[in-house]
Amino acid sequence: MAGSETVRFPNESDEYRAERAELLKAEKELRRRVEEVAARRRRLPLGGELAQNYTFEEGPRDLRAPESATKVRFSQLFEPGKDTLVVYSFMYGPQMEKPCPMCTSMLDALDAEAPHITQRVNLVVAAKSPIRRIREHARSRGWTRLRLVSTAGTTYNRDYHGEAEDGGQIPSLNVFVRRGDKIHHFYNSELLFAETPEGQDPRHVDPIWPLWNLFDFTPEGRGKDWYPKLAYGAERSAGA
């Protein structure tokens, strides 16, 4: 593959190429650090054993099927041969009129990736609203691949930092692992709770969110005042 010294584009100036070469050095260092942090994350020892084998509610995997709810234990979220479970806490509590637009944006993309993700690990999206409300929103977004569960009536959200003391919902990503007949916590996106220097974005689950990563390639960047919405333009006017 050609190096920066040989890559050129039509009509670019020497000034552009010089600055781009310096940026490439920073990008290479960032890549090295990303790989280093990922390796360190993989080396984490097992966290605490699962607080309890929670009982969640789940609807039919086919969103077109008639509404019904079945009970599913946390341990049943692990499919045979897959000992890692990723659970995203979706901000859609029973007191919220509408689900979080930011979470929705991220899950729009994750739904499409789910068939690939689940070749290796288990993936579940959990929210505290009743399962009927969660599925209604999923249908409105065209989600067909995400496994959705309701944590209503359990302490899961509070135990694993998907809910604040005042009941506010928190966009928390947790990873659990199964070892023998025991389930352990492995990772939480705790960067959300760390102090964020002024002018920086929290970026705690950004690695799985294409939207912001794409904007980072553009001259406009992420912007300071723009955030995803549940609908835009004509859709929003129509009350979508």
Does residue 12 have a pLDDT over 50?
yes
Q: Which CATH number fits domain 55-190: 3.40.190.10, 3.40.30.10, 3.30.300.30, 3.40.50.300?
A: 3.40.30.10
CA 203 to chain centre: 11
CA distance 213 to 149: 28
Q: How are beta strands 84-89 and 70-73 bridged, if at all?
A: unpaired
Q: What is the pLDDT, as a whole number, of residue 240?
A: 45
The DSSP call for residue 45 is: P
Q: What mean pLDDT do residues 38-53 have?
A: 98
Mean pLDDT is lowest, of 26-35, 36-45, 57-66, 194-203, for 194-203
Supply the angle between the helices 131-141 and 101-117 in degrees, to the nearest 10.
80
pTM score, whole prediction: 0.92
Question: pLDDT grade, residue 5 (50/70/90)?
Answer: low
Burial 9-40 (b: 16+ CB within 10 A, else e): eeeeeeeeeeeeeeeeeeeeeeeeeeeeeeee
- Are 92 and 108 a contacting pair, CB within 8 Å? no
CA 106 to chain centre: 6
Convert the pLDDT of each residue in 208-232 to its tens digit.
Answer: 999 999 999 999 998 888 999 999 9
Beta-bridge partners for 174: 87, 188
Question: pLDDT grade, residue 90 (50/70/90)?
Answer: very high
Give the DSSP H or E segment for 186: strand 182-188
